Amino acid sequence: MKALRKILSKWLPAYAFLYIAFLYLPVIFLPIFSVNTAVSPKFPLAGLTLKWYQELPNTPALLDAAWNSLLVGIAAAILSTVLGICAARAITRYRFPGRRTINGLIMAPLVLPEIIVAVSMLLVMLQLGLDLSLVTVVFGHVLVCIPYSLTVLTSGFEGFDRSLEEASADLGETAFGTFRRVTLPMVTPAIISSLLVSFTISLDEFIMAFFLTGTKPTLPIYIWGQLRFASKLPGVLALGTLLLVGSFLLLTIAELLRRRAARRTQNTGGVFA
């Protein structure tokens, strides 16, 4: 047993390094080739330039797609977080028949093949007589974002000191007032984290948008369309680099807020501790 632990202690760090390198090494080439003067991404680089980034604001189709993604992302983030708050509070506060089953159904989109979910959503939208538009894309993105939102918000609600709510009730506050003035301030970092995570997931979501979008494409659909033309590849690399940096920053902020929420709910010193 000791010999096995020694072997694992030596090889696990190496395995972790190789895993991370395998996962992120291709991503590193994205910003490198985005500043290459040549159209084709290859080594050695023909030169360094920022013209591909400078051309992005001068592309009307790109700006329209970015605006569409912004609208969809904000709507999906807000709806996912509101629904996630309701689900997280119910799951962490109450015990009722089928609680685990309901939680599993909410998390199901994480394990189901996304293309199957997207096709199912498309059939439902068509059966309801809805025209494909940004609204249907929002519905699809909400379905995908809710599991992530629920995960973040559950960590914010778990460990919450119920004595604070009981004290508020003893002082004559209503249930809604207690939730608004005591519970929500305590889980605000988790809520903001949920908004950021949901917005990031929606911004990068392709399959749902591919099946549910109408005549107004989102950014992933725009990028997919540009990949059919070799001359457009440098611009796609530049745009992909910006999305990569933006997603990384948003997820980093979301994780910091999630950890802050976890510390606050475990602190019994008060709402502003």
Mean pLDDT by 10 residues, the chain (273 residues): 63 78 78 78 75 81 87 92 87 76 81 87 86 88 90 77 66 68 75 86 87 85 80 79 81 74 51 31
Find, among 60, 51, 73, 52, the residue nearest to 220 by Cα: 73
Q: Alpha-carbon distance 118 to 131, whole Å?
A: 15
Find, among 73, 72, 66, the residue nearest to 195 by Cα: 73
Q: Give residue 182's pLDDT.
A: 72
| Tokens encoding 31 | 């910003």
Query: Do the Cβ atoms of 194 and 89 come closer than 8 Å?
Result: no
Q: What does the DSSP assignment read for 174-241?
A: -HHHHIIIIIHHHHHHHHHHHHHHHHHHHHH--HHHHHH--SS--HHHHHHHHTTSGGGHHHHHHHHH
Give the sign of the dihedral formed by CA 146, CA 148, CA 149, CA 150: positive
Q: Alpha-carbon distance 108 to 116, whole Å?
A: 12
Q: Give residue 269's pLDDT.
A: 35
Q: Give residue 163's pLDDT.
A: 66
> Quick check: pTM over 0.85?
no
Q: Give residue 51's pLDDT.
A: 79
| 96-103 long-range Cβ contacts below 8 angstroms, 24+ apart | 103/150
